[in-house]
Structure formats: C-alpha cells, structure tokens
Amino acid sequence: MTNIPEAKTPESEPDRVQDPVVDSDVLDRDTYDTIREPRSSARLPLGDGTWHQLARQYVWVQLISTGAMALVVLVAVLLLTLLWHQWWAWIPGGIFLIILIWTLVITPRQARAYGYQLRHDDLVFRRGILWQRVVAVPYGRMQLVDITHGPLDRGFGIAQLKLVTAAASTGVVIPGLTQQAAEQLRDTLVDVAETRRTGL
C-alpha cells in the first residue's frame, strides 16, 4: 500500500498577515505635509513609505504653554528685584528666559521634524533636527497603547499617543495628534498587536 501525502487545503495554510489598515484622511487632517529634515548630507534618510505628521494645533499649544512659563519667570524676577532688591535673580532668571525664548523660536521647526510611519511589521517614529532619533516599534512587542491630553490639548482638539513595550528604551510618545487620529491609531495598533503577539 502506498502512502499518499495529504494534499494541503486552503484552511491548513497559515493566514497571511495583513498590513495595518488606516484612514489616511483622518491621520493627515489638519497636519503638516512635509517633514523638515536637517540640511546635512549625513542625516538619517526618510526611506520609502507614507509618513504622517503632527497636527498644526500642536505648535500653538507649545507656544502658549512655553510663553506662559516665560511670563511667570519674568514676573517672579521682577518681584524679587523691585520689592526685595534681589538683583541676583536676573542671573538664573535671565538664563531661563533665554532658553524659553529660544524654545519659542524653534518650536515650529521642531514640530515639522516629527513623523511616524505604519509599516508591515512595525511603527517607525522619527523626531529631531539637530539631534535626530528614529525608532521602530514592532507591533508584536506593544503592551499598552495610551491616549493622554491636558486641558490645553483638549481646547485645541489634540492628544498624545504613548506606546509601551517590554523594553523601556523602545517606548514611543507621539505628541500633537488630532483626537480622531489618536483614537484611530490606538484602535489600529491594538488590533494589529493582537495578530502579531510574540508571547512576551
């Protein structure tokens, strides 16, 4: 009697893992359309694929919060010098004010340097112009996808998405997403992570 190998049926073949499915119109609504890159030829390349960016309202939130902090520092220094004649307060206060003013100047450019990309097996996040960071987070390693937003964020309709993995060094926080984009991205990543779970 001859043993005949059992023919493979479509049901016996492993399911093909699909790419994440997202609505690009939601992710790209009211966002920047071009990632700002360093001018140096040694910069980290963008590579292929579709990059999504932050909401434009993110810049306003950062400008308002940083400007408010600068105002508080200025008032505190003025009170110390005018009421208590503590002129030394201008030294640390002045340094802090210079840093805050510089932050106000570079914030719009920094916001355009943020970007994220949904690839077949991982999410890639990049940020920075002078100090660049590019990190890839495998879907199967994601343990928690969290959305947070403060009062000012809610006023401008934005939120930040936090991805927690087993290794703390690969965790990612994507700021300045619209509320709709953050919710869709969270749901998509949770669904994809379940199909790519590695058992960690």
How is 68-136 classified by DSSP, letter by letter?
HHHHHHHHHHHHHHHHS--GGGHHHHHHHHHHHHHHHHHHHHHHTT-EEEE-SSEEEEEE-SSS-EEEE
What pLDDT was estimated at residue 171? 80
Helix (H/G/I), strand (E/B), else coil: 147: strand
- Mean pLDDT rounded to a whole number for the chain: 88
Q: Which residue has the higher pLDDT, 81 or 49?
A: 81
* For residue 8, pLDDT beyond 50: no
CATH of 24-33+115-195, one of 1.20.1540, 2.30.29, 3.30.780, 1.10.1740: 2.30.29
Confidence (pLDDT) at 46: 82
Q: What is the pLDDT of residue 48?
A: 82
What is the domain partition of the chain in residue ranges?
Answer: 24-33+115-195, 59-108
Query: Exposed, middle or buried: residue 10 (CB in 10 Å: 0-12, 13-18, 19+)?
Result: exposed
For the stretch 96-147, pLDDT in tens is 999 999 999 999 999 999 999 999 999 999 999 888 999 999 998 898 999 9
